Amino acid sequence: MTSRTLPLFATIAIFLIAYLVCYLQFPAMLSTRVIGNLLTDNAYLGIVAVGMTVVILSGGIDLSVGSVIAFSGVFIAVMLRDTGLHPLVVFALLLAVTTAFGAFMGGLIHVLAMPPFIVTLAGMFLARGAGYMLSVESVPIQHPFYEVLKDAYYLMPGKGRLTLLGVAMLLSVAGGMILAHRTRFGTRVFAMGGGAQTAQLMGVPVGLTTVQIYAFSGFMAGLSGVAFSIYTASGYPLAMVGTELNAIAAVVIGGTILTGGAGYVFGTLIGVLTMGLIQTYIVFDGSLSSWWTKIVIGALLLMFILLQKGLLRLGTARAAA
């Protein structure tokens, strides 16, 4: 086990142990029903977290994603309400918009040489404002195609439903894994996270790559918006406040180092499922209060950040010796 994979194994181990604890207390939690719900309920988060993973791997951060998801929901709902376009066409339009939006932020980050944190903060305001301007209220989606999407599932043995959303998340993770770990683009992302200056010396087109990274995050946020609109069958501009934080938390709990350069997209999936598991446990327990979710997630965050800081220190100490 290398210091690179240690956080990933830690993540997986924590998830398995947590699941074991849950199972021992509530045997019902091992049913395909619970697993199916775990995937469906966290689909939107898993999808957007894949984009966030790539951004964080490159050493950046994207605070705009929650707002972009909310915007997406409203955009879809309003388009379906006001135009006769087929949902698939609306999805395509939306993804084009959110991808362009991400690319624009990436461009600003590079051209202005300002911290991604503050640039995407502006993006966060902008996207939510734009959603607000489309509609102030929640807009329900009533389209026959949506019923089809919502009811598309595979009945697993044990009556668990593997829904379209759950599958979409798993596919997103698989796609993200290929992109991050199996393409030249992915290597460039890791290179930027390892050190933008060195990456540039090794021939990474830093500007272009930055644009691509945030464009990808914008695309995934749009996709997550689609998933969320299917999940809730509505669009609401005030939805998903704080999702960016949950996505960042999932990425870090998934073993990716927040300063970039090391991590696994698969870990992010485990991070998302761990967070979902905590919530499921609290629901099963019934007496525990929901705020424990936040505290446990905060504790996990602290643990992983300290673990990685420790590994980093160990690494530099070894290199110096």
Partner 1 sequence: MPRVIQRVLPQLLTLAALMALVSVFFPDFLEITYSDGRLVGPVIDILKRGAPVALLAIGMTLVIATRGIDLSVGATMAICGACSAWAISAGYGLAGALGFAMLAGLAAGLWNGALVAVFGIQPIVATLILMTAGRGVAQLITEGRILTFNHEGLAFFGSGDILGVPMPTLIWVLLGVLVALLVRRTALGLLIEAIGINRRASTLAGINSRVLLIAVYMASGFCAAWAGIVATADIRGADANNSGLWLELDAILAVVIGGNSLLGGRFSIAASLLGAMIIQTIDTGILLAGFPSEFNLVIKAALVLVILVLQSPNLAPRFARIARRRRGTPAAGKLTTREAGE
Partner 2 sequence: MLLTIRSLTKTFPGTRALDSVDFDLRAGEVHALLGENGAGKSTLIKCLTGAYQRDEGELTLDGAPISPQSTLEAQELGIGTVYQEVNLLPNLTVAENLTFGRQPTRFGMVDGRAMRRQAEEMLSGYGVDVDVRRDLGTYSVAIQQIVAIARAVTLSGKVLILDEPTASLDSREVAMLFDVVRSLREQGLGIIFISHFLDQVFEISDRVTVLRNGCRVATDDIAGLERLRLIEHMLGHELEDETREGRHAHVPSDPSERTLHFEGVGRRGLIEPFDLSVGRGEVIGLAGLLGSGRTESAEVLFGIKPTQTGTARDENGEIALRNPREAVAAGFGFAPEDRKTDGIVADLSVRENIALALQARRGWARPISRAEQNRLADHYIDRLDIRTSDAEKAVGDLSGGNQQKVVLARWLAMNPRFFILDEPTRGIDVGAHAEILRLIEEVTADGMSILVISSELDELVAVADRVIVVRDRRHVAQLTGAEVETDTIVRAIAAPDADSDEEAA
Footprint on this chain of partner 1 (rule: CB under 8 A): 61, 108, 111-115, 117-119, 121-126, 128-130, 132-133, 136, 237, 241, 245, 248-249, 258-259, 289-295, 297-299, 301-302, 305-306, 309
> If DSSP codes are grouped into helix, strand and coil, which group holds residue 285?
helix
Contact present, 57 and 180 (Cβ < 8 Å): yes
Query: Pairing relation of β-strands 234-235 and 153-155?
Result: unpaired
**Quick one: what does residue 83 bind among partner 2, partner 1, none, with the CB cut-off 5 to 8 Å set by partner type?**
none
Please report how close the Cβ of residue 9 comes to partner 2 at its closest, in angstroms. 15
Nearer to partner 1, 86 or 309 (CB): 309
Please report how close the Cβ of residue 199 comes to partner 2 at its closest, in angstroms. 7
- Residues near partner 2 (CB under 8 A) are 2-4, 178, 182-184, 186-187, 190-191, 193-195, 198-199, 201-204, 261-262, 315, 319-320
Nearer to partner 1, 178 or 241 (CB): 241
Query: Pairing relation of β-strands 139-140 and 234-235?
Result: antiparallel
Contact present, 58 and 226 (Cβ < 8 Å): no
Question: Sign (positive/negative) of CA torsion 290, 296, 298, 304?
Answer: negative
Nearer to partner 2, 113 or 321 (CB): 321
**Quick one: what does residue 178 bind among partner 1, partner 2, none, with the CB cut-off 5 to 8 Å set by partner type?**
partner 2
Nearer to partner 2, 24 or 201 (CB): 201
Q: Report which DSSP code applies to 156.
A: -
Q: What region does 156 belong to: left with phi over 0, alpha with psi -120 to 50, or beta?
A: beta
**Quick one: what does residue 262 bind among partner 2, partner 1, none, with the CB cut-off 5 to 8 Å set by partner type?**
partner 2
**Quick one: what does residue 129 bind among partner 1, partner 2, none, with the CB cut-off 5 to 8 Å set by partner type?**
partner 1
Nearer to partner 2, 197 or 289 (CB): 197
Q: Calculate the CA dihedral of residues 198, 201, 204, 205 and round it to 10 degrees.
A: 120
Residue 89 has, within 13 A of its CA and on its CB side, a CA count of 6
Nearer to partner 1, 124 or 149 (CB): 124
Please report how close the Cβ of residue 252 comes to partner 2 at its closest, in angstroms. 17
**Quick one: what does residue 291 bind among partner 1, partner 2, none, with the CB cut-off 5 to 8 Å set by partner type?**
partner 1
Strand (E) or helix (H) holding 28: none
Q: From residue 149, how far is each of 32, 88, 160, 236, 290 by CA, in Å?
A: 21, 11, 17, 19, 30
